[in-house]
Amino acid sequence: LQGRLGQAHSANFAAKGFTPEELVILSGAYSIGKAHCFSFNDRLTEPNSEINANYHDNVLNKTCYAAPNETTLANNIRDIDVATLGPRRQRSTRRSTRGLLPHSSVAAPLRRPPLLAILRGDRERG
């Protein structure tokens, strides 16, 4: 894991006894498709190149700024951008650091093909 965020993320997980592989697995768990606005609210002020511009302008700004501090409101949970869904799309999005959540790109440089093959096999078995 590279960069300041990657190091901090790794350190937080390591302090709890997690391996780098477990970090990748658990960090990717959000990809079920939902995120609370407070998880990425600070990224709404970053340049549009950080998040898909259409999604940024038409979904996130309109819904998250409607009630920015109300974590219990239904409109404070967002579907993750369609462009970030799907394993191939997620890898591409993370490599370009355009993922919705700030740690979307943290695990991108960490490639563990044997682990990924095991996970892929588990998913295929159901």
> Annotated binding site: which residue ranges?
81
Return the pLDDT at 9. 74
Tens digits of per-residue pLDDT, 75-125?
A: 455 555 444 444 444 444 444 444 555 554 444 444 455 666 666 665 554
- Per domain, the residue ranges of the chain are 3-125
Beta-bridge partner residues of 79:
34
Q: Which CATH entry fits the domain spanning 3-125: 1.10.420.10, 3.20.20.140, 1.10.3720.10, 3.50.50.60?
A: 1.10.420.10
Between 43 and 123, whose confidence is greater? 43
Q: What global pTM score does this model have?
A: 0.34
Question: 101-108: long-range contacts (C-beta < 8 A, 24 or more apart)?
Answer: 101/30, 101/35, 101/39, 101/40, 101/43, 102/5, 102/40, 102/42, 102/43, 103/5, 103/9, 103/27, 106/1, 106/3, 106/5, 106/6, 106/9, 106/27, 107/1, 107/23, 107/24, 107/27, 107/28
Known binding-site positions for Ca(2+): 81
